Amino acid sequence: MTEEKVELRRGLRDVYIDRTTSSFIDGKIGKLLYRGYNIDDLSEKSTFEETIYLLLYDKLPTQAELDEFDGELKANRHLPEEVLQVIELTKTAHPMDVLRTAVSVLATFEPEVNDNSQEATLRKGVKLTAQAPTIVATHARIREGKDPIAPDDTLGHAANFLYMLFGEKPLPEDARLIDKDFILHAEHGINASSFGARVAASTQADLHCAVTTGVAVLKGPSHGGAAEEVMKMALDIGEEARAEQYVKDLLAGGGRVMGFGHRVYRAVDPRSIHLKDDARELGERKGQPKWFSILASVTKAMEPYSRRGICQNVDFFSGAIYYLLDIPDDLFISIFAMGRIPGWTVQVMEQFKNNILLRPRLQYVGPMDVEYVPIDQR
90, 138, 299, 334: residue in contact with a second copy (rule CB under 8 A) = 90
Q: Judged by CB, which is closer to a second copy: 304, or 372? A: 372
Contact letters for a second copy, residues 336-375 (x by CB under 8 A): --------------------xxxxxxxxxxxxxxx-xxxx
Q: Which residue type is seen at 363?
A: Q
Is 111 a residue that touches a second copy (CB under 8 A)? Answer: no
Contact letters for a second copy, residues 290-329 (x by CB under 8 A): ----------------------------------------
Q: Judged by CB, which is closer to a second copy: 65, or 277? A: 65
Longest dimension (CA), the chain: 78
Question: Measuring CA to CA, how many Å separate 293 from each of 33, 59, 138, 214?
Answer: 29, 39, 33, 34
Is 73 a residue that touches a second copy (CB under 8 A)? Answer: no
Q: Judged by CB, which is closer to a second copy: 91, or 169? A: 91
Q: Least Å distance between CB 325 and a second copy?
A: 26
Half-sphere exposure (Cβ direction) of 40: Cα atoms closer than 13 Å: 7
Q: Which is catalytic among the residues 262, 269, 274, 278?
A: 262
Residue 87: how many other CB atoms lie within 10 Å: 25
Q: Active-site residue 315, yes or no? A: yes
Q: Active-site residue 185, yes or no? A: no
Q: Please state, in angstroms and rounded to a whole number, the distance separating the CA atoms of residues 145 and 248.
A: 42
55, 86, 302, 320: residue in contact with a second copy (rule CB under 8 A) = 86
Residues sharing a CB contact under 8 Å with residue 263, sequence separation 6 or more, in sequence order: 11, 13
Q: Please state, in angstroms and rounded to a whole number, the distance separating the CA atoms of residues 335 and 231.
A: 15
Q: Please state, in angstroms and rounded to a whole number, the distance separating the CA atoms of residues 233 and 245.
A: 13
Q: Please state, in angstroms and rounded to a whole number, the distance separating the CA atoms of residues 316 and 302.
A: 12
Binding segment toward a second copy, per CB under 8 A, in 3-11, 129-137, 175-183, 279-287: 3-11
Q: Please state, in angstroms and rounded to a whole number, the distance separating the CA atoms of residues 84 and 94.
A: 16
Is 17 a residue that touches a second copy (CB under 8 A)? Answer: yes
- Cβ pair 136, 331 in contact under 8 A: yes
Is 173 a residue that touches a second copy (CB under 8 A)? Answer: no
Q: Which residue type is seen at 301?
A: A
- Cβ pair 155, 163 in contact under 8 A: yes
Residues 238 to 267 in contact with a second copy, rule: CB under 8 A: 263-264
Binding segment toward a second copy, per CB under 8 A, in 82-90, 177-185, 242-250, 335-343: 82-90
Q: Judged by CB, which is closer to a second copy: 168, or 369? A: 369
Contact letters for a second copy, residues 200-229 (x by CB under 8 A): xxxxxxx-xxx-xx--xxxxxxxxxx----
Q: Which residues does the annotation mark as catalytic?
A: 262, 315
